[in-house]
Amino acid sequence: MSLRILGIDNILFAVGDLTQARVFYETYLGLPVKFVVAEAGLVAYRLGEEEPGLLLRVQGIEPTPPRATPRVWLEVADARAAAQQLETLGVPLLKEPWEVGTGWIVEIADPWGNVIGLTDYLKVPQKARKSLRG
């Protein structure tokens, strides 16, 4: 049985300086801020009208390991179930699934170190893909 990917959730980029990154993305690209978690070195931007966005995190601030590889997060119906399925298939998790404001996230890496996150919207189903809302 394979995972059912519903679509892109978020794209994550590591940056060296959050203030400088915000000037670039907000001033030059005109991206609207979705939310900021300053203590985590994180800012999220809206990309159009959908829920998926662009997240910038200062490189090296936990829980993000110090790497420059972009991350892509994909939406699934249940991230914890996806984690169990992946472990059954022998795919190592980068860490156990963790809880966020919208639901759960688990990250894995491909053989080259590219990070793929699987995230759900179990806590706020109204933000989930329409196919899950019924």
Q: What is the mean pLDDT of each run of 10 residues along the chain (134 residues)?
A: 83 86 86 91 87 81 57 90 92 94 91 83 89 60
CA angle in degrees (0–180, nearest 5) for 102-104-108? 135
Topology of domain 7-133 in CATH is 2,3-Dihydroxybiphenyl 1,2-Dioxygenase; domain 1 (3.10.180)
- Our measurement of the distance from residue 35's CA atom to the centroid of its chain's CA atoms, rounded to an integer in Å, reads 14
CA distance 115 to 39: 23
Non-local (6+) Cβ contacts of 63 within 8 A are: 95, 98
**How many other CB atoms are found less than 10 A from the CB of residue 9?**
27
**pLDDT attached to residue 3:** 85
**pLDDT attached to residue 71:** 80
Under a CB-based contact definition with an 8 Å cutoff, are residues 120 and 78 in contact? yes
Q: How far, CA to CA in Å, does 60 sit from each of 42, 80, 92, 128, 131?
A: 12, 25, 22, 30, 36
Under a CB-based contact definition with an 8 Å cutoff, are residues 55 and 37 in contact? no
pTM: 0.69
